[in-house]
Chain A
Amino acid sequence: MSNSLLEPVHGVSLYDYAAAAAKMATGIDQKEICKTLGIELAVFEEASALWVARMQEDSTFEVSILFGQYFSEADKHPKLSGLQAQVSEEGKANLEKMKTDRYFYEELNGARQAAYDYGYDGAQWIQDNFGISLGDFQSVAMKWSEVQNEEVRNNNTDNVHHFIDYQQKKQEEYAAKFASEQGGNVADDVEF
């Protein structure tokens, strides 16, 4: 390990810290996570504060980049993979679909943004309507983001634009739906 900033803090590795953050974002209690990791809350909280400090100190961004990667791989963590938040059958099916079907992922991304634009808590709206928690959503988002970065590196910009356009189209569809639920947009009466 060449970068000393990647060494564990009080026995808590970056993978432990990132996977724990991902699990917490799915609604799992921090104390439950510490118990599974076999460390005390005091140790974990101090280590967490120090991992944040390491990311701030690291001008190469290596720590932050790896954090993102590990966050999306929380379900492969040797100790934490078994910890699963209670998810409905529908939620599980939607989550699986979002992992494999990029169109579905882009649709939910557009829907979430449209929800925010109409005053809803977008993350909560996804949870209520598709049964996917914020943590799971972010975890899948990071995976697709890596796919997109790879496409950019390979100059496959057509594909990138195709999915950006698709997301935009879906966002507009959901925006129209929310607008209709709320009685329209403020400038609906202005016509060319």
Chain B
Amino acid sequence: MQETKERFFTFIGKLEDKLREFTAASIPELVELNNTDTDQFKRGYHRMKSAVLGQLDSIQKKALDVKEEKITCFPFPSDDHEISKIYHQFRNECYDRFFQLDELYSKCREEVEGTHQEDFESKYQKILDEYETLKDKFRCEQCGSPVTIDKIYFTTTYITCPSCQTRNTFEPSSQAKMLEHIGRSLAEQRTSHLLEEHDEIPQKTQALYLQRHEIELSLIHESDKRIIEQKRAQMQELEKQKVELESKRPALYQTYLRAMFDEWNKINPALTDEHEKFYNRLLNDYQK
């Protein structure tokens, strides 16, 4: 068992080196590709990211397979209590070593995923620039008079010629057709700091709970009445802070949601009514 454990630890160590080296080598390339891939959906970048993640998976799987074969299925006489005890100790140590690799694997995956950043501001800016260029260039298909495109359209639309009243069909470009989709992502990006404020609360309340719990434990052997009083007051204060934070959470979510939908409405006002229904649905879901 000792020899298997040593070999297993060495094996895991080498796989961890591979995880680190491969991730470190891939990240600059992924960042570069993410910045330079001009495809609307960044397909080249996504293919490469998928391949990198696939290799990380293959390393983790190799470790998992060996753990199953050499550790979990390690042969030993199960009727011998002493050996059984030693085996469980050996198995736990090897499992712990595997979990270290597993944590590193998760961290590497996060780093690789983190290279995906879409610049929605710039995509939106391109739509705005295109609109500025096109808005006065559209001509009536019947009489040739200029027809002003009065706003950004993201679906094919009928526009009536002010001169001859002919109904013209205006088809937006493929990037303008993405306005609704980009609009939501951009609105989320612009208001993400508000969502973070909301999302951080459980962590903060947990920290306050632990602080309070620690004080509570310290009271067990405390006999000094003055100190006991002081500590109880501290605990009450921490509990108060925790309750206050928890009570703020729904309001913070609503603040975020309202800000996000306001942004979305500004970017694509044509669907404001629909956005509002979606807003109400999300708010109701949250309150359930």
Q: Do A192 and B70 contact each other (CB < 8 Å), given the known contacts A42-B158, A187-B59?
A: yes
Among A57, A59, A179, chain B packs the most CB atoms within 10 A around the CB of: A57
Which of A17-25, A95-103, A114-122 lines the interface with chain B? A114-122
From A41, A116, A186, give the contact of B156 (CB < 8 A).
Answer: A41
Closest chain A residue to B274, Cβ basis: A53
Which of B11-19, B144-152, B201-209 lines the interface with chain A? B11-19
Q: Do A119 and B14 contact each other (CB < 8 Å), given the known contacts A59-B284, A175-B58, A187-B58?
A: no
CB distance from B109 to the nearest CB of A (A): 13
A185 touches B171 (CB 8 A): no
From B15, B59, B70, B271, give the contact of A49 (CB < 8 A).
Answer: B271
B274 touches A41 (CB 8 A): no
Number of interface residues of B (CB under 8 A): 38
Which of B46-54, B124-132, B219-227 lines the interface with chain A? B46-54
Closest chain B residue to A55, Cβ basis: B278
- Residues of B contacting A59 with CB < 8 Å? 281, 284-285
- Residues of A contacting B169 with CB < 8 Å? 40-42
- Complex formed: what's the CA distance from A104 to B66 in Å? 30
B18 touches A186 (CB 8 A): yes
- Complex formed: what's the CA distance from A42 to B278 in Å? 24
From A45, A57, A175, A192, give the contact of B274 (CB < 8 A).
Answer: A57
From B15, B55, B281, give the contact of A190 (CB < 8 A).
Answer: B15
Question: A residues bordering B, Cβ < 8 Å?
Answer: 40-42, 45-46, 48-50, 52-53, 56-59, 116-121, 175, 179, 185-187, 190-192
A-B contact pairs, 21 of them (CB 8 A): A41-B171, A42-B156, A45-B155, A45-B156, A48-B155, A49-B154, A49-B271, A53-B271, A53-B275, A53-B277, A116-B50, A117-B53, A117-B54, A117-B57, A120-B47, A121-B43, A186-B18, A186-B22, A187-B18, A187-B62, A192-B7
